[in-house]
Amino acid sequence: MEILDVLTSMAKAGRLGPVSCGADWQEVTAALGEAWEVGTMSRRRRWPRLFAYGDLELSVCRCRKVSLICVQTWRDVIELPPSIVEGTGTFPAGLRHVDIISALDKAGCSWAPYAPLTFNDQCSLTVVPSGANFTPAWARWMRREARTLPVPAAAIAVSSRTMCIGSVTGVPPG
């Protein structure tokens, strides 16, 4: 299985194995084991808290429900729990805009431009059936060749209303 297959499947279903928005945190940890605790998502509040299983990051609200799912894809290698993806759970990174569109088309996922997250060097897409957002963040120097060069910093995130692939900095959850 390729990383684009995993991300496309996640965009279609809004989940990755037992992990979905609204999933009970106790059930997630029962299925995947204890996660590494990254910390709080705010300096002023104890909740929500961010946990990680390799490059799979989960935000958990104080009611102990998953409120955000994020797969970091900016590193050289993407590591996901092998129990929820086929094979080792290790994938090469280097996503390209054109590959994301091709994977969505191949999977039968209709998509459209997503204007609220399309600005400057960033071009966002929404998967129509699920409302998932693919949002690659492009570096300034990549402006002219953004459709053919690898995405330098990307993530996939599912909140209660959206899923984003790309930089999620500044994107409000839910």
In a domain, residue 172? The reply is: no
In a domain, residue 86? The reply is: yes
In a domain, residue 173? The reply is: no
List pLDDT tens digits, range 42-83. 788 888 999 999 989 898 999 999 988 888 777 788 899 999
- DSSP letter assigned to residue 19: E
pLDDT score at 171: 34
In a domain, residue 174? The reply is: no
Q: Which residue has the tokens 């104080």?
A: 62
In a domain, residue 44? The reply is: yes
Buried b (16+ CB within 10 A) or exposed e, 25-46: beebbeebeebeeeeebeeeee
Q: Quote the number of domains for the chain.
A: 1
In a domain, residue 171? The reply is: no
pLDDT score at 133: 74
- CB within 8 A of 158, min separation 6: which ones? 10, 14, 15, 20, 21, 68, 69, 70, 132
pLDDT score at 137: 53
In a domain, residue 143? The reply is: yes
In a domain, residue 108? The reply is: yes
List pLDDT tens digits, range 106-164. 998 888 888 887 777 677 788 887 777 777 654 433 344 434 433 333 445 544 333 44
Say what percent of the chain tops pLDDT 90: 28
User: Which domain does 78 fall in, by range?
Assistant: 3-166
d(CA 86, CA 31): 16
Residue 1: pLDDT band with limits 50, 70, 90: confident
Residue 86: pLDDT band with limits 50, 70, 90: confident
- Flag whether pLDDT at 41 surpasses 50: yes
119 close to 169: Cβ distance less than 8 angstroms: no
